[in-house]
Structure 1
Amino acid sequence: MTQDFDGRIALVTGASRGIGYQIAKQLGERGAHVIALARTVGGLEDLDDEIKAAGGQTTLVPVDLMDFDALDRLGAAIFERWKKLDILVGNAGMLGVLSPLGHISPKDFEKVMAVNVTANWRLVRSLDPLLRQSDAGRALFLTCVQAQTRTAFWGLQSISKSAVEAMARTWANESLQTAMKINLADPGPTRTGLRAKTMPGEAPENLPTTQVVAADLVELLKPEIFRTGELYDRISGEWTS
């Protein structure tokens, strides 16, 4: 496999399963040292085994994204070891309940906002100085169609992902004079366990696998990608600003 990410340091959240697992795996197989964040230790260990079998390297960080103090410490730990970060993939997210807005409990609302929005902001706050030290810092945050459609009963997704999109684009505008490029990606329907739960009548064989989706998204992390503050729709292959 082409080692086109050789020497890059890449941090991926939600790396123990699904799209995040495959993004981390493919980055590691292509030469990046992957810092893999997730709550599920078993999934992280499987990822570590696969990347090492391909000759790559990982640093596993079992962490709950709602442990904001740990996210704050992360930047200092990366700086102490590598002095920089080349890639940030904000993949981890929480669906929450599908419900009318007025029926969502404060606990559910706050938890989804904490994982989907606040945790990503804490990562930006912690890792921005490190990405600025890279010759081609790249950040990619995953979003979904509900951020644009505001689909009924999907309020937690539409609200939290809209906030993520606003945050990423604001950060991109604040970084125009740097080598950093910050973008968003909507992977579209993907063959995951979460998709099966929300769309139980859907035939999974008609959906792309996480491996296929991740392969497309990894391309957006290359140094030669000069777009910033834009959203990539994987289904159409189009960018929007």
Structure 2
Amino acid sequence: MTDDALPLDDRIALVTGASRGIGYQSALALALAGAHVVATGRTQGALEELDDAVYAATGRHATLVPFDLVDGGSIDRLGGAIFGRFGKLDIWVHAAATLGAQGLTPVSHIDPRGFAKIEKTNFTATYRLIRSLEPLLRQSDAARVIHLTTSLAREPKAFWGLYAATKAGAEAMMLSWADEIETTNIRISVLDPGRMRTQMRAQAFPGEDPETLTHPSEIGPLIVELARGDRTPPQRVSFKEWKAALPPEALI
């Protein structure tokens, strides 16, 4: 039986983009629920801050893997390292994404090098991670994949062209993969977090009051719920709709 106090006890959870924002809060929530977190991100110092928070809350350290997702070879080595240490992967939260250094830009003005960076991070890395991690997820008795998406993947807007296109491609790839592996123990949820107080949001809307936005820590309970192996998660999830469906006492 699953201990509701630690519903993810002894599960191995990989979180990409764990150095800040939604990825950071997802990693912390998974650790608090009992999982051993393998955290990836580009910044060693930010990952160490996450590890400090995890250790302070749980008495256990996370496994930190600092690297840039544009490095496909590192993604391949990540899968091998997880297999060598744990032999499986139970949870994968894919929160890593980038808007690019140029920010919101007309499609015709995107610098080719900036294009390549965004495409490799948001789209190609998703494919490389699926390729590297599927064998590990198959070793779990109930693997759960949570892919962070955006409403722009289905309703693109001006100046969001490359970000929207790469996120739409990654979402389509995830859902195609879900169909391919439906007879396995792997279940995939595509999660739209909506408007949250993140660095990417601040980059896109520098004049916006962050206090009007949802803090990313609020998504933690939903991440844990979707990661549970004793539940059947929905394939598409909206944080806004999930929160609206909660009973009033859960929001106190």
Q: Does 1:88 align with 2:92?
A: yes
Instruction: Please show how residues 58-207 of structure 1 align to structure 2 within 5 Å.
Output: 58-96=62-100, 97-207=103-213
For residues 188 and 43 of structure 1, the distance between their equivalents in structure 2, rounded to whole angstroms, comes to 24
- Any conservation in 2 of the 1:148–1:162 contact (CA below 8 Å)? yes
Query: In structure 2, what is the Cα distance between the partners aligned to 1:81 and 1:163?
Result: 32
- Specify which of 37, 40, 55 is matched with residue 37 of structure 1: 40
Shift of 1:56: 3.0
Structure 2: runs of 5+ lacking an equivalent: 244-252
Alpha carbons 1:186, 1:233 under 8 Å: kept: yes
1:237 aligns with 2:242: yes
Aligned to 1:48: 51
Report the counterpart of residue 19 of structure 1 in structure 2: 22
Deviation >3 Å, runs of 4+: none
Give the Å deviation of 1:181. Answer: 0.3
| Whole-Å separation in 1 of the counterparts to 2:236 and 2:165 | 17
Q: Deviations over 1:204-227 (max 9, x none)?
A: 112111111233233211113324
In structure 2, C-alpha distance between the alignment counterparts of 1:107 and 1:214, rounded to whole Å: 34
My pick for the range that moved more, 144-153 or 215-224, is 215-224
Closer/same/farther in 2, CA of residues 132 and 181 from structure 1, 3 Å limit: same
1:196–1:202 contact (8 Å) kept in structure 2 = yes
Q: Give, as a single letter, the amino acid of the residue that structure 1 aligns with 2:75.
A: L
Match of 1:220 among 226, 234, 238: 226
1: distance between equivalents of 2:59 and 2:92?
A: 21
The CA distance in 2 between the partners of 1:187 and 1:74, in whole Å, is 26
Deviation at 1:81, TM superposition (A): 1.3
Structure 1 unaligned regions, length at least 5: none
Q: Whole-Å Cα distance in 1 between the matches of residues 233 and 156 of structure 2?
A: 26
Counterpart CA distance in 1 for 2:231 and 2:177 is 17
Give the deviation of 1:196 after TM superposition.
1.9
Kept in 2, the 8 Å contact 1:185–1:217? The answer is no
CA distance in 1, matches of 2:198, 2:111: 26
Alpha-carbon distance in 2 for matches of 1:182, 1:134: 14
* Whole-Å separation in 1 of the counterparts to 2:188 and 2:73: 24
CA contact (8 A) 1:137 1:180 kept: yes
Q: 1:153-172: CA deviations, max 9, x gaps?
A: 10012100100111100110
Counterparts of 1:39 and 1:47 in 2: how far apart (Å)? 13
